A and B are shown apart, each in its own frame.
Chain A
Amino acid sequence: MNFSLIFQTLVTGLAIGGIYSLMAVGYSLIFSILNFSNFAYGMVIMLASFMGYFAMSKLHVGMGVALFLAMIGAGALSFFNERVAYSSLRKRHAPPLYFMISAMGTAIFLENMVYATIGSQYNAYPQIFEVPTVTIFGASLGKMDLFAIVFSVIAIYGLNYFIQHTRTGISIRAASYDSTVAEINGVNLGAVIGLVFVLAGLFAGISGVFLGIKYMAYPNMGWITNKAYVAAVIGGLGSLPGAVVGGIILGVLESFVSVYVSSTLRDVFSFGTLIIFLVFMPSGLFGKYLEEKV
């Protein structure tokens, strides 16, 4: 065993885990308030990735502006996703299963819209750093990965502060604890849910652009968001710290399995972990709720 390979594997795992965490936060936010898994979220991330790509390659703006535009765009998209696909179900008190079916429909619709209008080709973002890596203790770390990790930590910390310490944040927590009681006590439930979707959309914007820069933008990006969903379940759906920890665990686990066990068995291990978690800790590491976990 040599130290630099272990360290490199850890760094690689953290870089991918950071992105899993970002996306898992979006899944968890929505789950915490509506108690269903919003599978359309992956498509919002994919579209955000395209927004960032078009902003950078067609409008020739810098990464900061592209990130901002993608966050605004994805936030709006996520908001409309709720208003169009879920709000009428919510008003009729439909069970979570119906939400999930509507979410799948939205996901398939959005993906095929992209195939039909933009096409299936792969779109690479322009290169951002001339020399893309820095070397720490013999391990190469992408400057973009470093930036992504720092930015994600700030964004997640900001979100946590907002939810824990502001009046609006308290109403989100109240609604996620019991939406009916919160509504009786004067919380405007429609507005709170809209806000949660916008917040999730902002995170989709960040992850979409980071994914696009790290890899590329293309319509079939869905698989990677599935991994983020797995991360959210490991951490405990509905829990923000859980989403972060789940993402990091999954990323690092995958990386170590690839190097020290077998790269062919990587998915066998990560999904095996998911099953083990669901058997022994059905609510994940930090989860509180068990009911309606679909």
Chain B
Amino acid sequence: MKRIKKTVSLLLMAILVVSLAACGGTSTPPAGTGGSSGGSDENKPILIGHEVALTGGSALWGQSEKNALDMEIEKINAAGGVLGRELKLIAYDNKAEQAEGVSVANRLVQDGVIAVIGPAQSGVGIAASAVFEEAKIVMIATTATNEKLTVPEGQTEPLKYIFRSCFIDPYQGSVAATFALQDLKITKAGILKDVGSDYSTYLAKYFSDTFTAGGGTIVADESFRTDELEYKAQLSKIKDAGAELLFIPTMQKEAGLAMKQARELGMECYFLGGDAWASDELVQLGGSATEGGYFVNIASLEDPAIAQWVEEYTAKWGKAPTMPNPVLAVDGLLAIVEAIKATESTDPTVIAEWLANCKDVPVLTGKLTIDPASHNPLGKPAVIETVKDGKFVFHKGVTAAE
């Protein structure tokens, strides 16, 4: 009964998402007001839009994004601006809702921005991207990890004006495999994945591809279905196959339980997972079994590569940034600034073309290279965190092997 109910509600939700996205596609912004108007006047500031959730459940991350961008733009303007002009940020609250995201997009287009940072959510991003693509304005999403954001369903070419500064989910699988091979130096890995989740199956696939290509062997590839709580049968098979590492690309609930059950079976292998582990519930549910487990994350406060920036932010705003959004927003902004400088143009079409082919652009988290075929960042550094005394601590930064 419960399962049917869940399926029906998921289906309804999916229909809603699709129809909202379609709505976004049909709403045509007023012609002439958008486009390059922001770049027309030599003395006026260059307008950068910010699609952000400043209220609601995602506000914590949204506020932090805005603080980071405000700080960064202040610094750029203090250093003389870009092409001799000041930058100005226009931030509107989209409440992390799709309908709001579309109306915010229309307002930004009317205000005459040349580029937009955000949104952070894939659903909102997909809805808003239709408006920006139509109005020919560059959009760089922050933490929207859904593949379809830049390359819509059924298309092979990416949307011309839509980019993102975060890596997509499956990339984490490659990062994890690289870490397992190069740092943990293991060659035999087992996988326990959730077949009811795309996130989990794709992470597992990318892990297995990179791991095998690097000379490792997947000795057991086991699965369970979402909501199952008993994994001992699968785990004893993985143990029997002699896995030195168990990759668990699942949500924190399943991962915590799986680690607990694995240790109960006497498995002494490494545990490795993706960013879905990053919740306190992991340690609550898994208890001492989670100790020493590694997982891939987008960014960490303790990453030495951004330590100076975190310090600056904390000094200015009186509290640490809420990861990982602010870092990705700043990456997006710096990419746009570099594009304007390099092309000496504020025409979004010129900027979009430059971004699509850019290589090794200096940004906050390192060097940004965009894949022209997907508009996703290539080889973006990820961080590995580990559980120590029940807390998540930074272990090291890793970039996936080619």
Residues of A near B344 (CB, < 8 A) are none
Chain A nearest Cβ from B237, distance in angstroms: 5
Question: How long is the Cα–Cα vector from A17 to B3 in the complex, in angstroms?
Answer: 22
**Per-residue contact bits, chain A 94-138, to B (CB 8 Å; 1 contact, 0 not):** 000000000010010000000000000110100100001101000
Judge whether A8 is part of the interface by a CB distance below 8 angstroms. yes
Residues of B near A9 (CB, < 8 A) are 233, 236
Judge whether A140 is part of the interface by a CB distance below 8 angstroms. yes
Judge whether A61 is part of the interface by a CB distance below 8 angstroms. no
Q: B223, B227, B253, B285: which contacts A263 (Cβ < 8 A)?
A: B223
Given A124-B287, A226-B2, are A16 and B264 also a contact pair (CB < 8 Å)? no
Given A215-B257, A224-B229, are A122 and B285 also a contact pair (CB < 8 Å)? yes
Per the CB 8 Å criterion, the residue count for chain B at the interface is 29
B266 A122 Cβ-Cβ under 8 A: no
Given A39-B1, A122-B281, A122-B285, are A223 and B237 also a contact pair (CB < 8 Å)? no
Q: Tell me which of A2, A122, A263 has the highest count of chain B C-beta atoms within 10 A of its own C-beta.
A: A263
Residues of A near B227 (CB, < 8 A) are 220, 223
Chain A nearest Cβ from B327, distance in angstroms: 28
Judge whether B224 is part of the interface by a CB distance below 8 angstroms. yes
Given A122-B285, A127-B287, are A8 and B2 also a contact pair (CB < 8 Å)? no
Q: Tell me which of A8, A224, A256 has the highest count of chain B C-beta atoms within 10 A of its own C-beta.
A: A8
Judge whether B373 is part of the interface by a CB distance below 8 angstroms. no
Residues of A near B264 (CB, < 8 A) are 132-133, 140, 142
A2 B240 Cβ-Cβ under 8 A: yes
B237 A259 Cβ-Cβ under 8 A: yes
Whose C-beta in chain A lies nearest to the C-beta of B261? A142
Chain A nearest Cβ from B226, distance in angstroms: 10
CB-contacts of B176-232 with A (<8 A): 195, 222-225, 227-230, 232
Residues of A near B230 (CB, < 8 A) are 12, 16, 215
Chain B nearest Cβ from A12, distance in angstroms: 4
**Per-residue contact bits, chain A 6-31, to B (CB 8 Å; 1 contact, 0 not):** 00110011011000000000000000
**Per-residue contact bits, chain A 153-191, to B (CB 8 Å; 1 contact, 0 not):** 000000000000000000000000000000000000000
Residues of A near B266 (CB, < 8 A) are 133, 135, 140
CB-contacts of B274-320 with A (<8 A): 281, 284-285, 287-288
Known: A216-B257, A223-B227. 4 other contacts (CB 8 A): A5-B240, A124-B287, A226-B3, A255-B232
**Chain B contact residues, CB within 8 Å of chain A:** 1-3, 195, 222-225, 227-230, 232-234, 236-237, 240, 253, 256-257, 264-266, 281, 284-285, 287-288
Q: List 23 A-B contacts (CB under 8 A).
A: A4-B240, A9-B236, A12-B230, A12-B233, A12-B236, A15-B232, A39-B1, A121-B281, A122-B281, A124-B284, A140-B265, A223-B227, A226-B1, A255-B233, A258-B233, A259-B233, A263-B223, A263-B224, A263-B233, A263-B234, A263-B237, A264-B223, A266-B224
